[in-house]
Amino acid sequence: MKCPFCGYPDTKVIDSRPSESKKRRRRECTNCGKRFTTYEVIEKPLLMVYKRDSSFEPFDKVKLFKGLQNAIKKRPVSVDDMNALVDNIENTFANRMQTETTTEEIGDMVLDGLKKLDHVAYVRFASVYKDFADVDSFIQIISELSADKDKSAGKPAKKDEDK
Ligand SMILES: [Zn+2]
């Protein structure tokens, strides 16, 4: 690693620690003594997302995040929760070494994640993403949620009020 200050080609690592998916290295130039930090990032395979009209584009975390914003508006879901959800989706593909996916697959993963976070956000996202064609499909989603709630009986059900 070349020193960014004097260009000397030899620097030594004085401290190294992993921080989530990045490894942080503190380096010192053996010539001028200046210190700087480098990050080693694990390269993820490029993931292509096929859309319903069979066009495709690279997976875009920011875009996915933005797509979720309406669903979580005024809901008790934090930015950290959303980041974790989006990271988790990206990591799932990376761990599988998967290079192609569909908007449907991503949408289903988002729904799985939202279901655990907030039921109102879940229904909002589902209504847009599943593009409810009729009342029946809407009722189906709601009854699936109620069935889930029954399964986790014992815990007091969180009240979902949306105003
Ligand atoms: Zn230097």
Q: How far is the CA of 7 from the centre of ligand 1 (A)?
A: 6
Model pLDDT, residue 106 = 92
Closest CA to 59 of 114, 107, 108, 100: 100
Q: How far is the CA of 24 from the centre of ligand 1 (A)?
A: 19
Q: How far is the CA of 10 from the centre of ligand 1 (A)?
A: 8
CB 80 within 8 A of CB 88: no
Give pLDDT tens digits for 76-108: 999 899 999 999 999 899 888 889 999 889 999
CB 89 within 8 A of CB 101: no
Alpha helical stretches, state H, 17-78 = 61-72
Q: How far is the CA of 156 from the centre of ligand 1 (A)?
A: 61
d(CA 125, CA 77): 13
Neighbouring residues of the ion ligand 1, judged by CB less than 5 Å: 3, 5-6, 8, 29, 31-32
Q: How far is the CA of 47 from the centre of ligand 1 (A)?
A: 38
Extract the tokens encoding 42. Answer: 């694990």
Q: What is the pTM of this model?
A: 0.61
Closest CA to 125 of 69, 53, 57: 69
- DSSP line for 64-112: HHHHHHHHHTTSS--HHHHHHHHHHHHHHHHHTT--EEEHHHHHHHHHH
Q: How far is the CA of 8 from the centre of ligand 1 (A)?
A: 5
Model pLDDT, residue 6 = 95
Model pLDDT, residue 59 = 92
Extract the tokens encoding 22. Answer: 């990045």
CB 67 within 8 A of CB 47: no
**Cα 20–chain centre separation:** 14
Q: How far is the CA of 27 from the centre of ligand 1 (A)?
A: 10
**Average pLDDT estimate for 11-38:** 86
d(CA 86, CA 113): 9
Q: Which of 37-46, 89-98, 121-130, 151-160 ranks highest by mean pLDDT?
A: 89-98
Q: How far is the CA of 29 from the centre of ligand 1 (A)?
A: 4
